[in-house]
Amino acid sequence: MNIQENISLKAYNTFGIAKNARFFVSVKSVNELKEALEWAKHQKINPLILGGGSNILLTQNQETLVIKIEIQGINLVLEEEEFYFVEVGAGVNWHQFVLTSIANGWGGIENLSLIPGTVGASPMQNIGAYGVEIKDVFYSLKALNRESLKIREFNAEECRFGYRESVFKHELKDKYVICSVIFRLCKVPKFHIEYGAIKETLEASGVKELTLKAISDAVIQIRQSKLPDPKKIGNSGSFFKNPTIPEEHFKNLRSEHASIPGFPNTEGVKVPAAWLIEQCGWKGKRFGEIGVHADQPLVLVNYGDGDGNEIKELAVKIQQSVFEKFGIDIHPEVNFL
């Protein structure tokens, strides 16, 4: 196990924030992960587990051991009449897994193409896009208890999935490290093209027959047109969750703002956070080295040498202005560290 000291984390977070880790190690197996956790316990420090770094905002140096999860592997473990069960290492790049699934004819995650991050983070966030969420294709996961160093398997019910939520963000936060995930993928694809601009993009591309790849290509095209590439400009994708408000609140807002979009669900009406932020005048605003993206107001960006605290302060100002104008609380998807 090669534990390094005073390592810059700039290359390990998609915001490109230049903060340092007091100690840093990459682990490629469960045994290496156990070793790293034991080392941290011996040093009496609480380690930080890092996946793809696409859902964090570094606001300070990390005076601890940062453990980078790089456990690999994409393996078909069971085949049934309707489904493939595929176990994937937590360190596998999410989009690479999507591409592998498409190449093998495993259906169900094509709408989740080009989402940054690793497979291990996907159930923590219950990532989703264009009408599909992880919970729709999730079967189980294996996670290591950080204290006992024993592996436990979690089924979907035990994960308590919600909108960008799971038990690992609440009751079990910092208690387990996800090592692998088993997905239940379809042999006969069930295409979801009714969300966003997928149908229009397919038509514009002249697609005659729906395939996993055609839908994936359409999603990639849409995402690339809306979201900046983290390799070119620092960002974490959608910074805020879309809020759901009571139906009565939505009706009152519509009487004042006729164009406000809303999507009814079981809890009320979901309102696009991007629309709220744009209406408050934030779209395209730049403040030195940070700002709000010119094409997608849901994305906060680091133009080069921005600081995490500056982005945090900007996020708070956006939240305040949305609440003052609409009486709606919007909450970050991103974890502040």
**Of these residues, 113, 166, 238, 310, which one is catalytic?**
238
CB distance 172 to 160 below 8 Å:
no
Domain check: are 63 and 97 in the same one?
no
* pLDDT, mean of residues 212-227: 91
* pLDDT, mean of residues 146-159: 96
Contacts of 147 (CB under 8 A, 6+ apart): 175
Q: How confident is the model at residue 200 (pLDDT cuts 50, 70, 90)?
A: confident
**Of these residues, 146, 164, 184, 223, which one is catalytic?**
164
Cα(195)–Cα(215) distance, integer angstroms: 12
For 235, 269, 274, 277, the CA distances from 280, given in Å and listed in that order, are 21, 20, 10, 5
Q: Which two tokens stand for residue 109?
A: 């995650």
- Asked whether the predicted pLDDT for residue 195 surpasses 80, the reply is no
Residue type at 319 in one-letter notation: Q
Domain check: are 240 and 295 in the same one?
yes
Domain containing 17 equals 4-69
Question: What are the pLDDT digits (tens) for 9-68?
Answer: 999 999 999 999 999 999 999 999 999 999 999 999 999 999 989 889 999 999 999 999
Q: How confident is the model at residue 168 (pLDDT cuts 50, 70, 90)?
A: very high
Domain check: are 88 and 220 in the same one?
yes
CB distance 122 to 164 below 8 Å:
no
What is the sign, positive or negative, of the torsion defined by CA atoms of 124, 130, 136, 141?
negative
Domain check: are 13 and 36 in the same one?
yes
Domain check: are 220 and 238 in the same one?
no
**Residue that is last in its domain, among 207, 226, 245:** 226
Domain check: are 213 and 270 in the same one?
no
- Asked whether the predicted pLDDT for residue 142 surpasses 80, the reply is yes
**Residue that is last in its domain, among 69, 103, 119:** 69
Question: What are the pLDDT digits (tens) for 265-279?
Answer: 888 999 999 999 999
Domain check: are 95 and 218 in the same one?
yes
Domain check: are 14 and 118 in the same one?
no
| pLDDT score of 109 | 96
Domain check: are 111 and 255 in the same one?
no
Within 10 A of 154 (CB to CB), how many other CB atoms are there? 21
| pLDDT score of 289 | 95
Domain check: are 87 and 182 in the same one?
yes
- Let me know if 333 is a catalytic residue: yes
Domain check: are 121 and 160 in the same one?
yes
Q: What stretches of 146-289 adopt beta strand conformation (E)?
A: 151-155, 176-186, 234-235, 244-245, 263-265, 268-270, 286-287
Cα(18)–Cα(175) distance, integer angstroms: 27
| pLDDT score of 240 | 95
3-state SS assignment for residue 322: helix
3-state SS assignment for residue 95: helix
Helix residue ranges, H only, 60-128: 94-104, 121-125
Q: CATH code at 30? A: 3.30.43.10
Number of domains, the chain: 3
| pLDDT score of 225 | 86
* pLDDT, mean of residues 286-305: 94
Contacts of 295 (CB under 8 A, 6+ apart): 225, 226, 228
Question: What are the pLDDT digits (tens) for 55-102?
Answer: 899 999 999 999 999 999 999 999 999 999 999 999 999 999 999 999
CB distance 108 to 185 below 8 Å:
yes
Helix residue ranges, H only, the chain: 30-43, 94-104, 121-125, 156-159, 198-204, 212-226, 247-256, 273-279, 308-326
Short-list 240, 235, 285, CA closest to 17:
235
Cα(175)–Cα(16) distance, integer angstroms: 27
Radius of gyration of the chain (CA): 20
- Asked whether the predicted pLDDT for residue 148 surpasses 90, the reply is yes
CB distance 117 to 54 below 8 Å:
yes
The torsion of the CA quartet 154, 156, 157, 161, rounded to 10 degrees, works out to 110
Cα(25)–Cα(151) distance, integer angstroms: 21
Domain check: are 87 and 209 in the same one?
yes
Q: CATH code at 114? A: 3.30.465.10
- Let me know if 238 is a catalytic residue: yes
| pLDDT score of 237 | 87
**Residue that is last in its domain, among 226, 245, 275:** 226
HSE of 15, CA atoms in CB hemisphere, 13 A = 33
**pTM beyond 0.85, yes or no:** yes
Q: CATH code at 262? A: 3.90.78.10
Q: Which two tokens stand for residue 56?
A: 């964090």
* pLDDT, mean of residues 224-235: 88
